[in-house]
Amino acid sequence: MFPVQINPANYSFTVVGGGEIANHKVKNLLRFGIKPLVISPHFHPDLLTLEKDGLIELKQKFAEWSDLIDAHFIILVTNDEQANDRLAKQAVAAGKLVVHAANPALGNAQLPAVLRRGKLQISVATDGASPTLAKQIRDDLAEQYDEKYESYLAFLAEVRQFVKVHVQERSERNKWLKEAATPLYLEQAEARLILWKRLYHRNNVEY
């Protein structure tokens, strides 16, 4: 598997299935601002609530290939193995990205366990061997990369943008960016203010 990040804004996501597993997958998609279409003859109560809140779309029927033609990313989690297998084969042949939860070999994509701290995202995958282990590793990493990384990554993003605009020399830019990424600025918010003052002064920008 090749790891890659995509901007979901211009892609359509469809979840086939309406049970507990589908509910879990849908809530994971919502974390990334995705509004999926969910197709199933029956729906978990949480999915009905999410539709009322305008967060997802529901289509109450057994899924057919015609329902998936316009989807870019498809997650198959029904309790009908034959239907999952059939739709997976059709979708992969049509060039769709397909997650087949019960039989990953018939799909061509997987959903990793993800840790998010603001702009920081850490994904853990086991190529389908053990999603449970992937989640355990993700949870272990959560202790190391705790909530303070959210403000730290926001700081690093702002420094990077400032340096790109105001520092012309590549070597000078790299020096500032490397310094900002040192543990001092993760641990001490006051040190970040001092770095900002130095950046503004060094580049003759009014603070």
d(CA 206, CA 183): 27
pLDDT of residue 203: 87
Among 72, 75, 70, 136, smallest CA distance to 111 is for: 75
Q: Which domains does the chain have, with CATH numbers?
A: 9-111 (3.40.50.720), 112-145 (3.30.160), 148-202 (no CATH)
pLDDT at 204 (0 to 100): 87
Which residue is associated with the tokens 């598997």? 1
Q: How far is residue 44's CA from residue 187's CA, in Å, rounded to a whole number?
A: 43
pLDDT for the residue 30: 97
In the chain, which stretches have pLDDT less than 50? none
The pLDDT score that the predictor gives to residue 128 is 84
> Looking at residue 171, what is its pLDDT?
96
Distances (CA, A) of 70 to 30, 61, 95: 20, 17, 11
* The pLDDT of residue 141: 97
